[in-house]
Structure 1
Amino acid sequence: MRVLIVDDEPLARARLAALLQECEDVEVAGSVGDGEAALTMLAQTHPDVLLLDINMPGMDGKALAARLANRLRPQIVFCTAYEAHAVHAFDLGAVDYLLKPVRLERLRDALKRVRQRLDAQPHEPVGWLHARVRGEPIRMALDEVICLIAEEKYVIAHRGGDQLLLDDSLRQLEETYPDQLIRLHRNCLVPAHRLIGLKTLADGRVLARLAGTDFSPEVSRRNLPTLRKLLRMS
């Protein structure tokens, strides 16, 4: 089981990492200090569970959990010093709610609950895109994609350090994955989990901030209200 620790206190992250070393079949996928950094790590490491603090600067734990609601992975285990958020935490679908300082046995119990929930649910459907490399067809997972950009008659998938030519149009892809892809511009789609914020430039243009990359594609005025609503909901 891959675990991502999300807490703005370095000592709390270090303590959780030490406790996880005492748990069987557990790997620490990463350790970050806020919700936006967590979204970036999610896109890169695909953990099974988040050990998530609630009170953090920027995107707090509740906002991050709301963004990830209804997904099989990652599951959420809140780790906080405050009891008051427990009801809301379970409303957000959290598996467990641990009070700091977290005890080893409670952590083991929480991870056991995560395993049981994952085992009881069907496998999360994986979105696959059909691309070509030097004329040969390949498949690539939608989670790997940073953005999809239409250029003349083709659609280019930007994935990490490379770019792949796709067989489908942006409209076909948007219709196939309506809950996973969002439109920034008539020539650009991005996976919804990549969107972490917006940036307004001095000239009035708005750019999208995407997890896992410094690339910031422009957002059209037509699509801007939808994106702002999505970010407020998360």
Structure 2
Amino acid sequence: MRVLIVDDEPLARARLAALLGECEGVAVTGSVADGEAALAAIGELQPDLLLLDINMPGLDGAALAARLAGPGRPQVIFCTAYENHALTAFELGAVDYLLKPVRPERLREALQRARQRLAAAPAEPVGYLRGRLRGEQVRIALTEVVCLLAEEKYVVVHHAGGELLVEESLRQLEEAYPTQLVRLHRNCLVPAPRLLGLKTLADGRVLARLAGTGFSPEVSRRNLPALRKLLRTG
């Protein structure tokens, strides 16, 4: 089970990493200090589980968990020094709620609950795009795709390893993967898990922040309400 630690206190992160190191079947994939960094890490590292603090500067743990709600997103165990957020945590679908200092036996119990929930979760089928690269037929998993841009007669698939040309239109791809791809504007689709947030420029234009890339495509006014709703509800 791949675990990402999210806590603004370096000593707390170090202690959790040490405790996880004593647990079988667990790999710490990363350790970050705030919610925004966690969003970027989730897109890149694809963890199964977050050990998540609640009170953090900027995007706090509760807001992050709300944004991550939905199928295919990592499970959450809250680790906090405060008792008064427990109800909120379970309303957000948290696996467990651990009080600091986290006791090893409670952490193991929570990890076991997370394993059971992950095992019971229906797996979303992996989608593949097929196209041509230097004259050869290849395919790329949607989980590797950064964005899809329409250019003349083709759609260019930008992914971690480069680019791929596909013959399907953006509309055909959107209809084939309605829950996995979201539209930013008439010439651009992105995988939903890549969407981290929106940035409004001084001239009123809105750009999308995507995990795993510095590229920030523009969002059309027509698609802006749907994207804001997606970010609020996960």
> CA contact under 8 A between 1:5 and 1:13: conserved in structure 2?
yes
Cα 1:94/1:218, change in 2 over 3 Å = same
Q: Which residue of the partner structure matches residue 227 of structure 2?
A: 227
Aligned equivalents of 1:65, 1:42: Cα separation in 2 = 12
* Residue equivalent to 2:55: 55
* Pairwise CA distance, 1:18: 0.8
* Corresponding position of 1:78: 78
Cα distance, 1:229–1:118 mapped onto 2, change above 3 Å: closer
Contact persistence 2:66–2:232 (CA under 8 A): no
Q: In the alignment, residue 44 of structure 1 is paired with which amino acid?
A: E
RMSD: 1.6
Q: Distance in 1 between matches of 2:141 and 2:223?
A: 25
The yes-or-no answer on 1:35 pairing with 2:35 is yes
Give a deviation string over 1:156-203, Cα, whole Å, max 9, x none: 111125111123211111112222211111000111222222222233
Change (3 A) 1:99 1:196: same
After TM superposition, the runs of 4+ consecutive aligned structure 1 residues lying more than 3 A away are none
Cα offsets for 1:191-224 (capped at 9, x unmatched): 1222222222233222111122111111112222
SS of residue in 2 equivalent to 1:66 = helix
From the superposition, tell whether residues 109 and 212 of structure 1 become closer, same or farther in structure 2 (CA, over 3 Å).
same
Which stretch of structure 1 is more off in the superposition, 34-43 or 180-189? 34-43
Distance, in Å, in 1 between the alignment partners of 2:165 and 2:201 is: 30
Q: Give structure 2 stretches of 5+ with no counterpart.
A: none
2:232 match: secondary structure: helix
- The aligned counterpart of 1:197 is 197
Q: Could you state the TM-score of these two structures normalised by the residue count of structure 2?
A: 0.93
Q: Secondary structure at the match of 1:146?
A: strand
Question: Does the 8 Å contact 2:149/2:155 carry over to 1?
Answer: yes
| Partners of 1:87 and 1:40 in 2: CA distance | 27
Q: Give the number of aligned pairs.
A: 234
Q: Which residue of 1 aligns with 2:160?
A: 160
The 5 Å alignment of 1:200-215 reads: 200-215=200-215
- 2:90 matched residue in structure 1: 90
Task: Give the alignment of 1:79-158 within 5 angstroms.
Answer: 79-158=79-158
Q: Which whole-Å CA distance do the structure 1 matches of 2:27 and 2:66 have between them?
A: 25
